Amino acid sequence: MSEGQKKCKCPPPGAPAWMATFSDLMSLLMCFFVLLLSFSEMDVLKFKQLAGSMREAFGVQNQIKVEDIPKGTSIIAQEFSPGRPEPTPLNEVRQMTINNDMSTLDIRSQEGEATIKDKLEGLQELIKQQEQQAQQDAVQFAQALAQEIGDGAVEVETEGTKLIIRVKEQGSFDSGSAELKFAYIPVIAKIRDVLLDVSGRVAIEGHSDNIPYSGARFESNWDLSSARALAVAHELFSDPRIDESRFQVAGYADSKPLVPNNSPENRSRNRRVEIVIQKGNDQEMLERLQSRPEGDTEGQRLNPGEIF
C-alpha cells in the first residue's frame, strides 16, 4: 500500500451508511400516510354543512358533481371493514345564473321530486274516491227526501267532494222570520237520520236575497241568514246522537247568490239554508301542489298527515 493511501482517512466510495436507514424511514412514512388516507371516513353530514357554509359565504358559478368516495370505519379500529356505499342525497348543486348577484345554491333532489309526485298521485286518487262517496251519499239523501224534492222544497246536489242539501225558504220559514215552521221539523229529522251514517265535516249556511231587511227583530240580512242557519242547527242538535264537533254555522246574507237577484223568482231561490257536507279538505291541497313551479321540492316538507 502506498504512503498516500495510508494517510487518507476518507470514507470508502458509495452512499453513507445512514442513507439506508433514512430511506427505510421515508418509505415507512409514505406507506403510513397512504394507509391513513385509504382508511379515512367521509362524513356526508359534515360535508353538507361545509357546503352550506360555503354557499352562504361565496356561492358558486359552476356545476359540482357530488361523488361518493370509498369509505372505511376508522383508522384506530382493530379490524378494518369497508363502509357500505350509499347514494348521496344531493344530486345537483348549482346556482341559478339568471341573476348574477345571487349567493344561494339551488339544491334539487330527485328523491324529493319523486316523493311529491307520489303524494300528488295518491291525493288525486283520494279525491276521486271522496267524490264517488259524495255521490253515493247524495243518492241516500235523495231517497230519504224524495217527497220534499218532488215538492220543490229541498234540493240535493254534489260539487266535487261536497254534498249540498239546499233547504228553500218555501215551507221552512216565513218571510223575514228565523223560526223554523213546525210542519218542516219532520224534514229536518229525515236529514238528521241520514247524517248519522254519513262521514265528513258539516257546514250549515244561511243565505238571503239582496233586499234590505226592514223588520225590527234583526238589524240586517246578515243577522237573518245567520239566525236561520242556527235554527236548522238547533233542530239537528236536538238528537243527542249528533256529534256537534263536526258542525259549523255561518250566515252569508246575499254575498253568495245562486242566481242574479233580478227577479222575484230568483230572489226566492237565493233565500235558502244549505247543509254542506265536505268529504275532505284535499282539493285545496291538490291545487297548491299543482300550482307550484316545476322542480320546486319545497312541498316535501309537508306533513303527510296534513295531506291525507
What long-range pairs does 179-186 form, CB within 8 A, spacing at least 24? Answer: 179/231, 180/231, 180/232, 180/235, 184/153, 185/235
pLDDT tens digits for the chain (308 residues)? 555 555 555 656 677 778 888 888 999 999 988 888 877 776 667 777 777 666 666 655 555 555 555 555 444 444 545 555 555 554 444 544 555 555 554 545 555 555 767 777 777 888 888 888 888 888 888 888 888 888 888 999 988 888 899 988 877 888 888 888 888 889 999 999 998 888 889 999 999 998 888 878 888 999 999 999 999 999 999 988 998 898 999 999 999 999 999 998 899 889 999 999 988 765 555 555 555 544 444 433 333 333 33
Is residue 47 within 8 Å of 69, Cβ to Cβ? no
Is residue 275 within 8 Å of 164, Cβ to Cβ? yes
| Res 291: pLDDT | 56
pTM for this model (two decimals): 0.54
- Selection from 155, 150, 257, 261 nearest residue 206 by Cα: 257
d(CA 160, CA 62): 48
